[in-house]
Amino acid sequence: MKITNTEIYRFSIPMEPFVIATGTMEFAQNVFIRVHTDAGIYGVGECSAFPMIVGETQETCLAMAKDFAGIWKGKNPLEIPERMQDLLAYADHNATIKSAFDMALFDISAKHAQKPLYQFLGGNKKVIETDMTIGIDTPEGMANTALKYKENGCRIIKIKLGKKVHEDIERVRQIRKAVGNELTLRLDANQGWSFDDAVFALGELADQDIEFCEQPMRTWFDDRLPELALNSPIKIMADESCYNHHDARKLLNSKSCEYINIKFAKSGGILEAQKIHEEALQRGVKCMIGSMMESKIALTANLHFALASPNVVFFDLDTCLLGHLVDPTTGGLSYDGYILDVPDTIGIGADAKEDFLAGCEKWVI
């Protein structure tokens, strides 16, 4: 099988503004690709640029996508490690756009094997429940949002923090007061605190029954993560500190965190995500599967990966519920409240709507 050409789309999804510690997203800066083969099979891939986190924008992703597509022409898409090595040899970093190309390869391979992706990866169906994320707002506003989620049946809430530390503490306290003790609360500071702020905030929130706190400090303070983890009454999850399995190894060897958040936009896709999962599995460290602002296409691929990854026990797959004003997809995962399921169609089982693509800027390489 050979790759013949790749379609690349500027896949912008309008959305309600979403605020985290490092900035505000006005629309989902996504890229969608279809990698075509001479066997009549094509694979889909999607990535969501989040420049405040990964340093990639929609423009950089599109530029690199054109180069990557040219590199792959005439090559075998079933050789997934070799094809991803082609991209690594051409350009370091750029994990976000690489994840779309990785996704397309796995879609092609699963379709070629006539299996849903989770079965191709060796997984089985199980119950998966996502959390719902609350962007930064006033303490009162965030408490009201949390209460609405609870009334809709949500049982797990992730709270974005990382602005002024005293206000962050008040945000969490008001949310806990609003929703009561039966809901699970998670924190995500998105690198917003200093070491001293993190020690103070996590100590102050010890009585709020918090499951864990994601990425309390900037990655340049990674050398202080072991000290924070040792002194924090709340467990630490590494997010922006862990892009690849080498990062995972260093974090785990230094006892910097209790958990790791795996995101395709950081890892470069499924292949590297599997390696991160294996590093954590060997050390008994549980993982989360997370996301940026992807549509159901990439979220479905995330869910397939989670079904084949026994050490992934936390799920943050709510992005298309966080204010996307249109759904540009067909097929893909389904939500029964906050319980997720994937279709048993071959491959990823999701694609873009043709009428939405008709309005997108397009390149064919």
Query: Which residues are the active-site residues?
Result: 160, 188, 214, 239, 263
Other beta carbons within 10 angstroms of residue 126's beta carbon come to 9
Is residue 268 a contact partner of residue 242, using CB atoms and an 8 Å limit? no
What amino acid occupies position 352?
Answer: A
Mapped onto helix, strand or coil, the DSSP state of residue 274 is: helix
Q: From CA 119, how far away is CA 100, in angstroms rounded? A: 20
Phi then psi for residue 171, to 5 deg, are -55, -50
**Cα distance between residue 279 and residue 29, in whole Å:** 31
234 in Cβ contact with 202 (< 8 Å): yes
Closest-CA residue to 155 (of 135, 188, 184, 187) = 184
Phi/psi at 348 (nearest 5 deg)? -70, -35
Q: Is 162 left (phi over 0), alpha (psi -120 to 50) or beta?
A: left
Compute the distance between CA of residue 255 and CA of residue 267 in angstroms, rounded to an integer: 21
Q: What single DSSP character describes residue 208?
A: G
